[in-house]
């Protein structure tokens, strides 16, 4: 399967933070959840992909093209929603419709109007009257209406209630029904990603900790709950991280089935992405 996005050895240094050799690939026709704690490097990585920040080393290819050399050619086919993105508040959705029609050759006014109706956004109302959730919906409608092949979304469902989130997620799933389209979706709402993401890429402190198929993570990984005596019998090569709580040890394994066959420990819980993040960041080796 061809990759719609390829990142190799991305490095960017700031005074108090650095991205360290970030590498991962996003295949065509898939959704990748991009997770990590606040300040982990998700937004910096996304801004490097979009060439918003520069002076970094490494290679980024989008649609097989260099994101810096071929920026103009690439830009037409990328839809973007950033967490700190905004439209001037005096504009209306109708103003945005007219403006975008002059920017994107594939801009579809009918599609834009369709999403405005779906999201219950009045086309003649100024953006300053919109709630945070309504503004986010407007950004998503704008990103979709020029028919991109790649959606890059930074916290696209933040500020939305569960019903609105489910509505947006359904739209994202329909978007990738075209096997040529993909989504890179950064979100702190990991329960959403568990349902829709084909891949999970996990970044912490500027470094990629893992990039794997979601079903592999959720099906094979697990949390072993055991006593101190049981923990001392576990070979270090059979777990990734562990955490000692008041009453027991919680141990992260990458292969529940193999672990169960090797050790006489009965409690191995299914893992969630939240569990994974906490143990990988806060756990001990």
Return d(Cα 10, Cα 78) in angstroms, integer: 20
- pTM of the full structure: 0.92
Query: Please, which residues bridge with residue 59 across strands?
Result: 8
Cα distances (angstroms) measured from residue 2 to each of 147, 180, 225, 282: 20, 10, 40, 35
What percent of the chain is modeled with pLDDT above 90?
76
Give residue 72's pLDDT: 86
Residue 9 has pLDDT above 70, yes or no: yes
Q: How do 207-213 and 222-226 pair as beta strands?
A: unpaired
Give the DSSP letter of residue 236. Answer: G
Say if CB 67 and CB 51 are below 8 A apart.
Answer: yes
Question: Going by DSSP bridges, is the β-strand pair 249-253/222-226 parallel, antiparallel, or unpaired?
Answer: antiparallel
Query: Which residues are within 8 A (CB) of 165 and not within 5 positions of it... i.e. 6 or more apart?
Result: 157, 189, 192
Percentages of the chain per state (helix, strand, coil), in multiples of 5: 35, 30, 35
Q: What angle do CA 141, 114, 138 make, to 5 degrees?
A: 25
How far apart (Å, rounded) are the C-alpha atoms in residues 101 and 259?
57
Domain architecture of the chain: domains with CATH = 3-217 (3.40.50.300), 221-282 (no CATH)
Radius of gyration of the chain from Cα atoms? 21
pLDDT digits (tens, 9 = 90+) for 32-61: 999 999 999 999 999 999 999 878 999 999
């Amino acid at each position: 399967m061809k990759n719609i996005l390829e990142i190799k050895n991305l490095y960017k240094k700031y005074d108090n933070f650095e991205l360290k050799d970030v590498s991962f690939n996003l295949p065509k026709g898939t959704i990748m959840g991009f997770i990590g704690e606040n300040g982990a490097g998700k937004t910096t990585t996304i801004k490097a992909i979009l060439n918003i920040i520069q002076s970094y080393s490494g290679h980024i290819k989008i649609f097989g093209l260099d994101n810096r050399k071929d920026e103009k050619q690439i830009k037409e086919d990328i839809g973007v929603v950033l967490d700190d993105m905004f439209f001037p508040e005096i504009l209306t959705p109708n103003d945005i419709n007219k403006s975008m029609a002059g920017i994107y050759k594939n801009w579809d006014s009918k599609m834009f109007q369709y999403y405005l109706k779906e999201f219950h956004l009045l086309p003649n109302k100024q953006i300053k009257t919109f709630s945070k959730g309504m503004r986010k919906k407007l950004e998503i409608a704008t990103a979709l209406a020029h028919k991109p092949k790649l959606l890059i979304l930074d916290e696209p469902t933040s500020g939305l209630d569960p019903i609105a989130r489910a509505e947006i997620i359904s739209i994202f799933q329909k978007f990738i029904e075209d096997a040529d389209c993909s989504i890179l979706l950064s979100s702190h709402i990991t329960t959403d990603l568990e349902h829709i993401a084909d891949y999970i890429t996990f970044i912490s402190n500027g470094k990629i900790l893992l990039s794997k198929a979601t079903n592999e993570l959720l099906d094979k990984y697990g949390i072993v709950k055991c006593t101190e005596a049981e923990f001392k019998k576990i070979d270090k090569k059979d777990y990734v991280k562990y955490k000692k709580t008041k009453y027991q040890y919680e141990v992260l394994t990458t292969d529940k089935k193999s672990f169960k066959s090797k050790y006489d420990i009965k409690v191995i819980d299914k893992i969630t992405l939240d569990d994974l993040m906490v143990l990988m960041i806060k756990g001990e080796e």
